[in-house]
Amino acid sequence: MPKAIEARTYEEALAWLRDHGFDTTDAPGTTARVFLRKYNVSAAIQKGPDDSVKIFAYPGYLIGSEISKLVNRGYQQFLKTSKTEVPATADHLKALHSFAEELKVALGLPSLYNESLGTVSEAYQYDRIKDRDKPEVERPKRPWEVAGKQAAIAAKKGRA
């Protein structure tokens, strides 16, 4: 039988977050919007019109002072900001997962089975699918196509 989850009010959620080790910082120039930080992961929540809590900025690992976005490219996950992109390590993913699960508890949101298994990316960009909808002549060459051609040329030169 599913367990009933009670949504918390904005003030209840803030109290829970502070009691459980989250650093809270009021967003400049706004009322009822707070940045949260724990495990070097950050997110932002805001007060809804009916005293509910809404997520304003989804959890992301902090790179510098910017909240990164987790991007899955099929072979590797990356932390992407407006300035840089770095491969996500197991420690990054564990921190993101822990933060997201605790945030769900704080806000009274359900913890879904597929999300509880591991970190879920905001975007999935598989390199073999990208640009597949374009005509073949307009598609950029894939790394394995370029490498294969260069390897063939090098092999021919080696035989001559």
pTM score of the predicted model = 0.65
Distance, in Å, from the CA atom of 10 to the CA atom of 59, rounded to the nearest integer, reads: 18
Q: Which residue has the tokens 């502070």?
A: 18
Averaged pLDDT score across all residues of the chain: 79
94-117 pLDDT, tens per residue? 999 888 888 888 887 777 665 665
| Terminal Cα distance for the chain, rounded | 74
Distance, in Å, from the CA atom of 23 to the CA atom of 50, rounded to the nearest integer, reads: 25
63-106 pLDDT, tens per residue? 988 888 888 877 788 899 898 999 999 999 899 988 888 888 88
Residue 41, CA distances (Å) to 11, 56, 80 in order: 21, 15, 13
What is the band of 128 on the pLDDT scale with cuts at 50, 70, 90? low
